[in-house]
Amino acid sequence: MTKNMSILLILLTSTTAAAASTSSAKADQGVKASAKKSKDWSVSISNTVSSDLLKSDDADHRMSNLTAISLGIKLGSGKLGLSGTVSKPLQGERKEKAGDLGLGYSKSLHKFNKYTRMAGSFKLTIPTSETSRERQDLRTAVTTALPLSWSAAQVGVDKAYVSYVPFAKKNFHRYEVATYGASNREWIVGNSLSFGYGLTDWMSIDFSGSYSRSVTYQGNTTDSYSLDESVSFSLPKKMGLTLGYSIGGSPLAPNGRDTQIEFFDSRKANVYATLSISL
């Protein structure tokens, strides 16, 4: 999985809990599909194929496949969930790698009015990936998020929403320095902002961006950003298709001082297609 797809996963699958919260906001506002009868459990499976924008014969060209599964069960007034991923590069050795497991709980915290609401989520990371266990000596991580969503129906724009998600992640490592000498990150704090609009009952467009800062145990900081634009289609049999473009990385220019957030770069950007099904 490429670096930019990791950033995208943070937004869309709640590796840092922001994505799941944003997806919940979309579902609450009915942007992508009409409301369905609630049930005590849910299963979601998705498969994403992504590629950078380099030529296929370029030595640095990267393509990957990411499969994600999440299980949810109603618990009290909220939902308990378990999620996991498996990634596989589509060139070279093509060895599959399991990601970390996530055990989380989310619930609605406050409804300000008919159009504005706040939720909360808590997630515990179970380090099952090779990177977390063997390279970083990660013991666990705790992520919290407070998504705030607003339906633009309040101002007469139906099927549109805005979602803001501040999040914080605390890592717990056995050692402050990873196996290969890099400093482990103790904290990751940031926020994401999303806009969505349902063009029809079966098609919607979404725009999102995130900005985060990681802090090592020695106090060194690194900032990162990501931008994502996508169009989603509701398909029969509770299936969905999303086509998108994402870019992310360091917001600093090569001189290390000036800010330089790019909207297009063949090495930093990805295009992706996600096919999902909900049970």
Q: Which CATH number fits domain 3-278: 2.40.160.40, 2.30.30.140, 3.20.20.70, 3.40.50.620?
A: 2.40.160.40
Max mean pLDDT among 34-43, 56-65, 193-202 falls in 193-202
Range name among 178-182, 219-223, 262-266 with the lowest pLDDT average: 178-182
Give residue-wise pLDDT tens across range 111-139: 999 999 999 999 999 999 999 998 899 99
pLDDT of residue 9: 44
Q: Which residues face 116 on adjacent strands?
A: 150
Of the pLDDT bands very low, low, confident and very high (cuts 50, 70, 90), residue 227 is: very high
Residue 10 pLDDT exceeds 50? no
Please state the three-class secondary structure of the chain as a single string. CCHHHHHHHHHHCCCCCHHHHHHHHHHHHCCCCCCCCCCCEEEEEEEEEEEECCCCCCCCCCEEEEEEEEEEEEECCEEEEEEEEEEEECCCCCCCEECCEEEEEEEEEEECCCCEEEEEEEEEEECCCHHHHHHCCEEEEEEEECCEEEEHHHHCCCCEEEEEEEEEEEEEECCCECCCCCECEEEEEEEEEEEEEECCCCEEEEEEEEEEEEEECCCCEEEEEEEEEEEEEEECCCEEEEEEEEEEECCECCCCCCECCCCCCCCCEEEEEEEEEEC
Backbone angles phi, psi at 130, to 5 degrees: -60, -40
pLDDT of residue 260: 83
What percent of the chain lies above the pLDDT cut of 90?
71
Domain range annotation of the chain: 3-278
Average pLDDT, the chain: 87
pLDDT reading at 256 higher than 60: yes
